[in-house]
Structure 1
Amino acid sequence: MLVLGPLGFAAPWILSALIALPVLWVILRAMPPAPRRVSFPGVELLQGLADRVPIAHRTPWWLLLLRMLAIAALILAFAGPLWRPVLQVQGNGPLLVVMDAGWAAAPDWASRQGRAERALTQAAAAGRPAALLIADGQGKGALEFAPADTLLARLRAAEPVSWRSTLPPDPSTALANLPEGELQSLWLSDGLDHPGRSEWLADLTARGPVTVVPPLQAARALTLHGGDTPSLTLTSADDTAPEILAVGPDPQGIERPLARLTPGDGVTQGGVTSRPTAIDLPPELRNRITRFQIAEEGHAGAVVLADDRVKRRKVGLVGDPDRQAEGQQLLSPLHYLRRALAPSTDLVEGNLGDVLRSAPDVVIVVDQVNLPRIGELAEWVDAGGLLIRFAGPHMAADEDLLSEPLLPVALRQGGRDIGGALSWGDPRGLAPFPADGVFAGLNVPGDVSIRAQLMAQPAPELAPRTIAALSDKTPLVTRDRLGKGQVVLFHVTANAEWSNLPISGLFVEMLNRLVATARVTPAEAQADDRDQPFWTAETILDGFGRAQAPDGLAPVRAEDIAQSPGPGHPAGIYAAGERRRALNAGLEYRLADWSGAQVERPEAAQGRDVKGILLALAALLLAADALGSSLLAGQRRRGAIASALVLAMLWPAPRATAQDLNAELIRAADEVALAYVTTGDGEVDETSRQGLEGLSDILRQRTSVEPGAPVAIDLDNDDLSVLTFLYWPVTDDQPLPSPQAYLRLNHYLRSGGMILFDTRDGDLAGLGAPDMSQSLRDLAAPLNIPALSPVPPDHVLTRSFYLLQEFPGRWLGGPVWVEAPPAGAAAAEGVPFRQLNDGVSPVVIGGNSWAEAWAVDDDGNPVYPLGTGWEGEQQREMAYRFGVNLVMYVLTGNYKSDQVHVPALLDRLRLEEEVSR
């Protein structure tokens, strides 16, 4: 590359054509312009007359200058000009291209391949041998140095892997075939420090210059931490804290983000910021999660696959069969445990032997002493199980209670009656939970009271083993470790006999917290690991974080599963017997130090190409030359036309303004087409189109309305004045419209238009207010929306075509909000409904995902499933009926409510008829 100041040329040999410019100047200067020929028979009569406007014998200097400049611009353009290029050291020896290929290299993998390809192409042009080292840990033996162009196919086929970049262990062995000459190395780094990196850097710098290309963006990783309360850690090389998506199947089986987690405050060390993220989700939602993923990140390190550590637990219930009389469920302690644990766990009931054979995570024993198989139960707890015991009359009356095994603390016989008829004391409340305990953060209701409890023997270890206490500091729940497991005792009964705790919501939360602390199951004990020495992959991830089938992957040894992902055991889900374990790529990392190497600035790796600017300049100069030549020849009009044509080709095509009515909007006004707002999410926009297409088909079949094909609306550019109905799906990452778009939206609402806001979240939670979600609040804040209320039973929307009281979509049960009725609105005598509004509600808000319920494909078949069997199709029919009612309501207004005037009109007609008689 030739560099002249800030300008460089990739093909400098073309500049040799500039030498011909002086020769061309002389030739053009010596050659006069073509003479103007005039056919005139009487030309002989003109001989001897002086020509006042003589024809030029030489081309004017300014015209020659224009032509020279145009030719020079063309030569410079084809010489590959670059503005401020980065100088690449070009040697004569071999070239080594090192590519980090771990998960951190995935975000900008294409640009890495392009940079490596340019280096190999330049080496091939210089006839230099080259080698390609892809640091994925799968290469063996010494590197082969070959002609550089033979490595391009392997480079283009390479992909990142779902583990960290892995270099060969010994640089000397890998470079055993190095040809003679100074080695030039190009290292495309992912920015992270890896084992052996410093040794490789020292070896390469000793052999020749090393150029390091850093990543284009900061690395971010997600790590799962187990323990009593599993949590995530977001590790980032910058200060950003993107949201973490909790992804799993919705009730219809479609995988989608179920929740968004916000990382906490970060701690920065060594340029890397770590942010803890609590998995603070309801158990029934957390159990559906299949993976956590950093928003807008596409690599394996940004994905955490969920395994048994965040999944449903198997809980075994062991009670006294003699106390489970039929018809006395409210007296049975197991009844309250079932109601508390069934939504979030898998329950197994039976005697202790049957329960232990089912390999549970947790065993709950209710008011039992002298347990059979106590030795087997102790071994199970020692191997990592969680045993939860509840006190009761049987335990309090046992004479050998002091020697009862598998208790966290020693107990006194009898019990303490603090709220009975023969007691002088009042029932006790609960003390606040310790901030560092398993129940930390739970609110203690003031109405929870304890009337009796099983007391513990005073001992020094009583206080540290108490994890919940009464207001008088006596223990309510105690816990102790036993081997790898733990034993927990509730000093009250599991029913309402000794307290009202089991009938409170706090009881459910306490049990869920305890069940979540079950770390391992008996199947995860070391003895069982010896029975299952190999793990089989069920699903693996590639470097981009995409799930793939484990085709051809051999079973993995147990000791390899205990490590981080690597060659032969990529990130993914592995199974051994009944166990499922996630091997995740995201790990806490350190940034690499490149002392002794030249670090290339990624933003200026290629320089700015100015070829287009020079070509445009040459075209303008040629247009000026055409105009000047025409003026000299007296053909002004033809020259002007030629110049105008050249300028027209260079002038950019005009863009349509935001207020222009395009053909689609004209068609929408002519055909009463339904319209939807584009969100930027291709899947959501396609669902909106299919949904309105399905609703349009129903309208054509059942009503006199015959809408055309749905119209996509860009709020920033399209005019809304010709529309009557606008469907607006709300997404989390939808950009806000411009201020001009909000002005048009407010005018649209004032002029009689309607917007159906669909938050599409009716499957996650009930919508408790008209604003419903932060995304909707952000989008609707600048709009002039009146006060809203749920659709009243006598609203016109319930009877504009069909008689409805529910408005289901793909989801069922969410409220629908419309403009609130005016104060004092009342129904007329004899009319079962009120005159609520003179016009149409400008907005309708809900979250039942109506477009998914209406959506049909090109063959007219439903796209999304609804429910099961006949009930699902019935729900889809009701969704269509709501759509018909909505469109009829938009087009006709409150015509149904005008029936309040019908009796008065009939009386008036009858009176006029009698008078006329």
Structure 2
Amino acid sequence: MMIGPIGFAAPWLLVALALLPVLWVLLRAVPPAPVRRRFPGVALLLGLKDDDSVTDRTPWWLLLLRMLAVAAVIIGLAGPVLNPKDDATRSETGPLLIVMDASWASARDWPEQRAFLTTMLAEAGREARPVAIMRLTDPAAPVFQSADTWRSRLPGLVPAAWAAGSDDMTQAAMLLGDTPFETRWLSDGLAREGREALLDALEDRGTVTVFEGAHATLALGPARIEDGALVLTAQRAQTALKREIAILAHGRDPSGTPRVMATLPLQFEEGEGTATGTLSLPAELRARLTRFEIAGQDHAGAISLTDDGLKRREVALIAGRDDREGLELLSPLHYLERALQPSADLLDGALMDILPANPNVIVLADVATLSEAEQSALLDWVDTGGMLLRFAGPRLAGSEVSRNEEAPLMPVRLRAGGRTVGGAMSWGSPKSLAPFPEDSPFYGLDVPEDVTVSAQVMAQPDPTLAARVIAQLSDGTPLVTRKKVGAGQVVLFHVTANAEWSTLPLSGLFVRMLERLAISSAAEMPAAEELTGTTWHPVQVLDGFGVLSDAGNLPGVTGEALVDAPLGRDMQPGLYDGADRRIARNVLAEGDTLTPALWPARVNVRGFQRGAETPLGGWLLALALVLLSADILASLALSGRLLPARAALVLAAALMLPDTGEAQQTHEALTSELALAHVITGDARLDDTARAGLLGLSETLFFRTSVEPTDPVGVNLETDELAFFPLLYWPITPDQPQPSTEAYTKLNHYLRTGGMIVFDTRDADIASFGAASPNGVKLQRLAAPLDIPPLEQVPKDHVLTRTFYLLQDFPGRHAGRPVWVEASPPDAEQIEGMPFRNLNDGVTPVVIGGNDWAAAWAVDGRGNVMFPVGRGYAGERQRELAYRFGVNLVMHVLTGNYKSDQVHVPALLDRLGQ
């Protein structure tokens, strides 16, 4: 039975509430009203007072108090529950099938799904209902088992990096069997092919309830290059509201350290499902990019991996003449080599020798005539996606190529001869460049005033000429023309590649124009027929949460499958290597769109969010006891037998007096017992997490070592004494206040007298002390006044790696980030036969990291972990390593580098031998 958000386990007991009016009448009748009789002698009793008086009628407020107490008992025994299961799910008692999309889109609200799944299994366990779980990304015949059996398997239940297709839906429908059952479908919120047929099959076997998360689904398509810039397109399934996102471009800096190389903000307009932005990066920086991702979206759909399409281009340079040996500045290829060398790999050789290498761009400088074989091979190469970049010159101007009809490898027809302006035998002055039109790849580039053209080849007037001109002179004559040929293109500069006909090669504009053209020739995903007969081996693959890992022993895939096969267990998103290039297969391919799931009106669709069931019976029975106690006190007061009110107030005031010895007791406890401490930051949530983390570490120390810490303490740097604490855990927030000068004086004294401060930026980006993050910047400001020695990343032979446990990694909630400690002395040497150096015997005064250790250690009052770490069994292993690091940390600060004294073991043994 449900009454609003409250349900009752035994609603039949509420019938007893109907007896309350009868109880009211009975209470009004007891005691009975006295009969009034007039007696003259009563006048003698006037003025006398009886200490024990009995009222003639029960007051109404006392009756109400008693009625409320009885009502609380009745309702409490009825088993009220706050936020119980709804009637739709409570009415089912048979087998329960939980269907999960378990796709990459499910990863965005996977914690909510896990918590919801845990609640459903707990309910099914109490009702002894058999349960089966079916993942549509890997469908298998449902096996109904006890709820406890499935609960033990939940840590290994993770979303896949792909989504179920129509074949998966059909297979799932065929595996259902004929047994009736209830179905609860945990959907990822996106439309899928074949879902209707599976829904019909499930409804034939029982009721179906669908649960969907409230988070918006965002995904990122593959990056492409247009006109020398990166174009990124994000999509969303919910298009109602305006929203801003950020695209992070990840790569490796020159030292090989992974970091965010650039950020691109994007904005979804109201009602729009796509947002597109352009990111302009130098070719050298673009070649270092490894992936793009939507900030804050931890799933595979928010990741776009990069492949060879963004790497350095291979450009072949071929000149039409080579008769100016020694005249380098007049060489047709001199300026091209200088312009392209920083951003591309240049190839040199004969045309027929270069074509088998399949360069990205071929440049022909004043090449007028091609043999039939060269022309045919070059045309085939352009047709499959290559870019042919041609430059005019005396040979091209004097040849008969493309005069009467358009040549296949020329963008326009040319006039005989050429055009000369500004010379001794010509009229007029050299021509300048006109601004680039909006549809030109050069649009947005500034045109210097000193760039002029004194000679050029002229294009024949043609109906298609205007559409092919991408740059022109101030008088309207074409300077650069372009034509599409199959999947490739042919571009012609109507001037020479050197400075004979124009000053363009002498300017920076020439470099930027080549950048827009040559670097924009990235090859697209090849067609399936082009990869027929090839095998591609997976190098790295994505999981459902967007984490890239080694492919291990996954089998190779055929070229046709790499292009056309849908993603699944046999074709996972990731990086695949072929014979001559690397191709990225992303979750969202070019042209894919996200569509929200539209369920039929007959289907009951609910959300994952639901308040936890809270039994109210105990609270109501306790309330009844309080009311009955109040009834007793009220009855005594009415009869005059209650203690005087003044005495009661004095007693209450005495009970409420503060314990004046508490501060002294705390002080004595700190001097006699060990306590870990954390710096109070002013952020209540962070301070609670820090205290819970140190509580979890303290319990670990108590059960695993001889150290028995008391409860952790929060420290105010301005007022509290620091000498009681061997270790201070200091979490960093961007807005925490800067300590005063007096506080820094205490901190420096604390560091110089053997104390340790553990700085935790909690951002997993501490490679440069977190300088790239707001927490890292704040850390630099907080630590600047401190007397901190030179630091280094923890070496492999540091005592922290072996104080109690043998460790080489120090994870918290994040893993794989460096930890910084006091640098070893420069003269520390490793003695022959010993596994580590003879380091200094002091304790490092600071430990700096960003792995959010407190969140990994944190436990609540019942000893349950408070925050998830990693995923599945690997996450629990990471949490165990975090506890071990904490144990090593405390043992190090308490014992120093005592294990370094093992370097003296040979000498000690020698003395014992004597």
Partner Cα separation in structure 2 for residue 615 and residue 551 of structure 1: 60
Percent identity between the two aligned chains: 38
Check conservation: 2:7, 2:84, Cα contact below 8 A: no
Write out per-residue CA displacement over residues 230-288 of structure 1, whole angstroms, 9 at most, x where no aligned residue: 522221214323111111112332222221212256473xxx62222223334333332
Map Cα deviations across residues 792-842 of structure 1 (whole Å, 9 max, x no partner): xxxxx9xxxxxxxxxxx99xxxxxxxxxxxxxxxxxxxxxxxxxxxxxxxx
Give the whole-Å Cα distance in 1 for the aligned partners of 2:66 and 2:761. 50
Identify the residue that residue 313 of structure 1 maps to in structure 2: 313
Alignment-derived partner of residue 553 in structure 2: 552
Find the aligned partners of 1:128 and 1:162 in 2 and give their Cα distance.
31
The 3 A distance-change label for structure 1 pair 346 and 84 is: same
For 1:775, the equivalent position in structure 2 comes to: none
CA deviations 1:530-587 (Å, max 9, x no partner) are 35x2221111111111111112321122222213422311111111112211111134
Match of 1:875 in 2: none
Among 821, 834, 843, which residue is 1:858 paired with?
Answer: 821
CA apart distance, 1:410: 2.9
Task: Please tell me whether the aligned partners of residues 465 and 480 of structure 1 are also in contact (alpha carbons under 8 angstroms).
Answer: yes
1:410 corresponding residue in structure 2? 413
2:503 is aligned with 1:504: no
Contact 1:214 1:599 survives alignment (8 Å): no
Letter of the structure 2 residue corresponding to residue 198 of structure 1: E
- Structure 2: which amino acid aligns with 1:664? L
> What RMSD in Å do the two structures reach over aligned CA positions?
5.4
Q: CA deviation at 1:593?
A: 1.3
Q: Distance in 2 between matches of 1:218 and 1:345?
A: 41
Residue correspondence of structure 1 range 323-722 to structure 2 within 5 A: 325-326=325-326, 328-371=327-370, 374-375=374-375, 376-398=377-399, 402=403, 406-520=409-523, 529-531=531-533, 533-563=534-564, 564-586=566-588, 587-602=592-607, 605-606=610-611, 609=614, 662-665=715-718, 680=733
Query: 1:490 Cα shift?
Result: 0.8
Counterpart Cα distance in 2 of 1:540 and 1:221: 17
Secondary structure, aligned partner of 1:107: helix
User: Are residues 168 and 379 of structure 1, via their aligned partners in 2, closer, same or farther at CA, if it must alter by over 3 Å?
Assistant: closer
Q: CA deviation at 1:340?
A: 2.3
In structure 2, list runs of 5 or more residues that go unmatched. 28-48, 664-679, 688-713, 737-743, 763-768, 785-790, 793-817, 826-914
1:751 corresponds in structure 2 to none
Using the TM superposition, give the Cα deviation of residue 348 of structure 1 relative to its aligned residue in structure 2, in angstroms. 2.5
The SS at the match of 1:858 is strand
Change (3 A) 1:542 1:333: same
Q: Which position in structure 2 is the counterpart of 1:880?
A: none
Bigger drift between 533-542 and 632-641 goes to 632-641
- Residue matched to 1:3: 2
Partner residue in 2 for 1:98: 99
Q: Indicate how the Cα distance of structure 1 residues 395 and 314 shifts in structure 2: closer, same or farther if over 3 A, else same.
A: same
Give secondary structure in 2 for the equivalent of 1:242. Answer: strand
Deviations for 1:723-746, whole angstroms, at most 9, x for unmatched residues? xxxx996747999xxxxxxxxxxx
The CA distance in 2 between the partners of 1:114 and 1:647, in whole Å, is 44
Deviation at 1:420, TM superposition (A): 1.9
Q: What is aligned with 1:251?
A: 254
Does the Cα contact within 8 Å between 2:732 and 2:759 map onto a contact in 1?
no
Rounded Cα–Cα distance in structure 2 between residues aligned with 1:216 and 1:131: 25
Equivalent pair of 2:292/2:304 in contact (CA under 8 Å): yes
The answer for unaligned runs of 5 or more in structure 1 is: 30-50, 686-692, 715-726, 736-754, 760-796, 798-808, 811-854, 863-917
Residues 406 and 559 of structure 1: CA distance in aligned 2, closer, same or farther (over 3 Å) = same
Give the whole-Å Cα distance in 2 for the aligned partners of 1:545 and 1:363: 38
Task: Tell me which amino acid in the other structure corresponds to 1:279.
Answer: L
Higher mean C-alpha deviation, range 351-360 or range 6-15: 6-15
Change (3 A) 1:656 1:508: closer
Q: Secondary structure at the match of 2:233?
A: strand
Q: Distance in 2 between matches of 1:73 and 1:340?
A: 87
Give CA-to-partner distance per residue, 1:566-613, whole Å, 9 cap, x none.
231111111111221111113412111111444444276346747597
Contact 1:677–1:729 (CA<8 Å) still a contact in 2? Answer: no
Partner Cα distance (1:613, 1:436) in 2: 73
Per-residue deviation, 1:330: 3.4
Q: Confirm or deny: 8 A CA contact 1:627 1:642 kept in the other structure.
A: no
Q: Which amino acid aligns with 1:605?
A: R
Q: Quick one: structure 1 residues 549 and 635, their matched pair in 2 at CA, closer, same or farther if it must change by over 3 Å? A: farther
Instruction: Report Cα offsets for 1:93-122 as digits up to 9, x if no partner.
Output: 432221111111111112213323333443
> What is the TM-score normalised by the length of structure 1?
0.62
> CA offset at residue 453 of structure 1?
0.7
Aligned 8 A contact 1:363 1:388 in 2: yes
CA contact (8 A) 2:633 2:642 kept: no
Cα distance change on mapping 1:65 and 1:534 into 2, 3 Å = farther
Alpha-carbon separation, structure 2, partners of 1:859 and 1:630: 73
CA distance in 1, matches of 2:429, 2:721: 74
Kept after mapping to 1: 8 A contact 2:731/2:759:
no
Distance 2:291 2:636 in 1: 72
Q: CA–CA distance in 2 between the matches of 1:249 and 1:613?
A: 59
Contact 1:313 1:362 in 2 (8 A): yes
For residue 245 of structure 2, give the secondary structure of its aligned residue in structure 1.
Answer: coil
Kept after mapping to 1: 8 A contact 2:162/2:567: yes
CA distance in 1, matches of 2:733, 2:62: 52
Distance of 1:70 and 1:552 partners within structure 2: 70
Moved more, 335-344 or 237-246: 335-344
Contact 1:292 1:304 (8 Å CA) reproduced: yes
Distance 2:411 2:81 in 1: 80
Secondary structure in 2 matching 1:370? coil
Counterpart-to-counterpart distance in 2, 1:447 and 1:199 = 69
TM-score, normalised to structure 2, is 0.63
Alpha-carbon distance between aligned partners in 2 of 1:171 and 1:219, rounded to the nearest angstrom: 25
Q: Is the 8 A contact 1:427 1:450 kept in 2?
A: yes
Partner of 1:284: 284
Give 2:304's aligned amino acid.
V
Supply the AA of the counterpart residue of 1:106.
A
Q: CA deviation at 1:317?
A: 1.9
Deviation track 1:412-452 (CA, whole Å, cap 9, x = no partner) reads 34321112232211111222323223333333333321111
The equivalent of 2:216 in structure 1 is: 218
The whole-number CA distance in structure 2 between the counterparts of 1:345 and 1:130 is 60
Following TM superposition, by how much is the alpha carbon of 1:492 offset from its aligned partner in structure 2, in angstroms?
0.8
- Would the aligned equivalents of 1:94 and 1:129 in 2 still touch at CA under 8 Å? yes
Deviation, 1:293, is: 1.0
- Secondary structure of residue in 1 paired with 2:254: coil
- 1:226-245 map, 5 Å: 226=224, 228=226, 231-236=231-236, 237-238=238-239, 239=241, 240-245=243-248
Residue 127 to residue 365, structure 1, CA distance change in 2 (3 Å):
same
CA–CA distance in structure 1, aligned partners of residues 146 and 756 of structure 2 = 62
Aligned position for 1:165: 164
